[in-house]
A and B are shown apart, each in its own frame.
Chain A
């Protein structure tokens, strides 16, 4: 609509003055969640539903010799026993980069076993109990071969160099050798698991060649692509429904083998099938963070100014798959140094293919570099905070580009002030209360701003309310709430007049809710669509023959509090519903995307929403885009027993502009809490005789409980970053965990004089 100015009183969400974005609103999906009325995927029970249960391998390497299904097949209620022998043919699918698949079938049930806990068979029965019973009757015999249980086994070797991870500037080896102060240590993290409280699983229903799947998903369009390719059906025949996701942390972004098994079973029995992965099975139905080890050599002046960083890292991967946990991610970013060298290998072992877990790469990378810089501080007699400021990177030392915004200095300052850092006595074991050794530690964290184009539909309805629709998801991340806030501001209505629909393939497409990108890309898309809807409404108000504004002679109008008016308040203020009635419109519907002009073909769109190939790196452009944080931690270590308790956390956080501080603070805190668990508790324990993760349940794989967590103060120091995103926000969800574990390890050193370089920090390591 030409001739319309789009300024409104409340509408310009980019100026930070709006009354909705930035407000501490309670989450809009909250009322359903507190009443138990939010329906999660596995709570959909179509008529005639059958239940599937998976049987996993009990060896880690070898072949399945025979599967005796005789007893299972005749067990009460059994509809189907599924094995590699009767499984349907599936095509292989392209990967998440969109790389073409191998010309070989996809086998979700294994004949050749490569890890302990691999899916081998499944039972479908009338009831869950019948399926469980029949599954217990299946007898599998194997021809086992030797397995490599972990990357410390000498047979694992050095692994495969990942050339794309190679980072070099200056002459790091020579500069290290010549440095007056040198430290060199190895840091290790164990296998860690996502363990969202909602188990993985799905309900699959065929209707001819159309497939409906109720499944918790961080990426509806990406998973639909995989399912379509496995089953050789058109993409638009797959509908995934996922309005609520009971936690994902990276583990619900990609289709898994159990999905293929359930969908196959539904096809074979001609009924909808529900398959819930059991909690123990979830430890091998998909991978968590791989075990990592990294050696960091720091060369520095006697004052602690870095001269060189030499970094060598490895992570475990599966025997037939690539998983890279980029251990140099923070190493090459956090500090200014004239010389750096980083290498990474991946080491195949008999494990499930590892997957992404909150801040893959940045998290263990920060444990290494933020522990090492602390060691350097003690080596040169510097304060751990001062040495970080001494080596502050004024620009991205790797990309050699300016930061878009980097409020890390402010994060250190506000964190130190609130924590009381100046009262710290530097010597280890110098702060004590009775039998408790007190330690104060600091560490920084960072997470990149990733960017993919989004799409959103905005609809102004006859009653003056607004609908926003997208196949993006909310896993507790606040999407429902902040998209309503965004649309409300752009349209000049109250946020409670906006209904947001998410999590359904039938809605406009969205890229992965991963890499902490979704909030920024979706607020950008909704803002754009809502402004276009407002323009259309204002255009109609000015030009429509039945509009009350027809004779006002205005070339623009404003919308505020759900009413349209002339900008200077002369003339009527007409509620949107009244205007819609007068101009005879049932709705105004606008679909907009933020794809580049040159990439708008159907193929481009499909690629953008179903792969990560179009995701822009944080240094694509003139600036280097990252979020930053500084964690200050107090620990109390029992002098006799070595038990470590985190007693206080204060964190300064730069995520740019914050769309809803109440919800962002929850995510930052949640990341910090997961980091406390990672530092002190979490460890997948491998029985090396059987290459099996033995603590595959929530009583033995320890995550933080309420009693493990103290008060945590998070303070936003971010400023709107127009280079990072349309509305000025940066990454939130994955940032908070980065740097927590080293802050705790550093505090433990300060408390005890013991430097623990291997997570988790358990009492046996302090004895």
Chain B
């Protein structure tokens, strides 16, 4: 169980090779082994959404995913959301402008979910945004501003 295995992971367009115990979650691999701390651990049991990343473009909870499960898949974290030019994604800009966060801890997960929510075509109305953003908890209570940020970007894209 504790013998490390060598994994080759495609993270944010880069190939990363890392030796991990097979039981290490994708979340802990990112945070504790790959210095990608943008993905947050809020509950470690799939209930809060703070660890949301994209695997092959779909939102996935990194705390319920073993790192070994995602070999050969494309993983995107908050650090890889921006373009290669170092700019920020329009959803990130909208979160800042709408003040869609306070403490900031759930924010990377919210932004990853928001990007996917728009891409999935689930941002057609405020009610739909609320529903499809409800897997990401925010204890500071930024929900109305999160809806506004998603609406801004979805509206601009349509």
Contacts and interface: CB of A to CB of B under 8 A. Distances in A.
Interface in B135-151: 136-147
A27 interface: yes
Given A197-B50, A198-B42, A709 B28 contact: no
A35 B78 contact: yes
Given A129-B24, A198-B105, A475-B103, A707 B131 contact: yes
A45 B126 CA distance: 40
Contacts of B144: 669, 709, 711-712
Contacts of B8: none
Contact of A476 (B31, B103, B137): B103
B147 A706 contact: yes
B95 to A, nearest CB: 5
A247 B79 contact: no
Nearest to A476: B102
Given A199-B42, A706-B134, A26 B111 contact: no
B37 interface: yes
A703 B105 CA distance: 16
**Interface of B: prevailing SS:** loop
A703 B126 CA distance: 20
Interface in A29-65: 29-40, 42-43, 45
Nearest to A701: B47
Given A196-B103, A197-B105, A278 B44 contact: yes
A584 interface: no
A276 B23 CA distance: 18
A713 to B, nearest CB: 10
A705 B131 CA distance: 9
A663 B140 CA distance: 12
Interface-central residue, A247, A665, A706, by most chain B CB under 10 Å: A706
Nearest to B93: A34
A709 B127 CA distance: 10
Contact of A128 (B32, B77, B96, B139): B32
Interface in B51-103: 77-79, 82, 88, 92-93, 95-97, 99, 101-103
A706 B143 contact: yes
A98 interface: no
B78 A279 contact: no
Interface stretch (A11-19, A448-456, A512-520, A671-679): A671-679
B38 A669 contact: no
Interface residues of A, number: 63
Given A129-B24, A712-B144, A698 B137 contact: yes
A521 B150 CA distance: 36
Given A127-B21, A247-B140, A29 B88 contact: no
Interface in B1-35: 1-2, 21, 23-24, 28, 31-32
Contacts, number: 176
Most B CB within 10 A of own CB, among A27, A247, A672, A708: A247
A36 B39 contact: yes
Q: Is the interface of A mostly helix, strand, loop or mixed?
A: loop
A666 B102 contact: yes
A663 B126 CA distance: 22
A574 interface: no
Contacts of B126: 711
B106 A197 contact: yes
Given A129-B21, A197-B50, A476 B140 contact: yes
B103 A245 contact: yes
A477 interface: yes
Considering residues B40, B48, B88, B104, which has the most beta carbons from chain A within 10 angstroms of its beta carbon?
B104
A662 interface: yes
Interface string A53-83: 0000000000000000000000011000000
Nearest to A39: B37
A33 B107 contact: yes
A674 B141 contact: yes
Contact of B47 (A34, A43, A127, A697): A697
B24 A244 contact: no
A29 B104 contact: yes
B96 A129 contact: no
Nearest to A677: B141
A703 B99 CA distance: 21
Interface in A128-157: 128-130, 133
A670 B146 CA distance: 12
13 contacts: A27-B96, A30-B104, A38-B104, A128-B32, A197-B50, A199-B42, A278-B44, A279-B45, A666-B102, A697-B43, A703-B139, A707-B134, A709-B130
Interface of A: 26-27, 29-40, 42-43, 45, 76-77, 127-130, 133, 195-199, 244-247, 249, 276, 278-279, 475-477, 662-663, 665-667, 669-674, 697-699, 703-709, 711-712
Given A34-B111, A476-B101, A666-B140, 20 more contacts: A30-B96, A32-B104, A34-B107, A35-B92, A37-B79, A40-B40, A249-B139, A279-B47, A475-B103, A666-B102, A669-B142, A669-B144, A670-B140, A672-B141, A698-B42, A698-B43, A698-B45, A698-B47, A707-B131, A709-B143
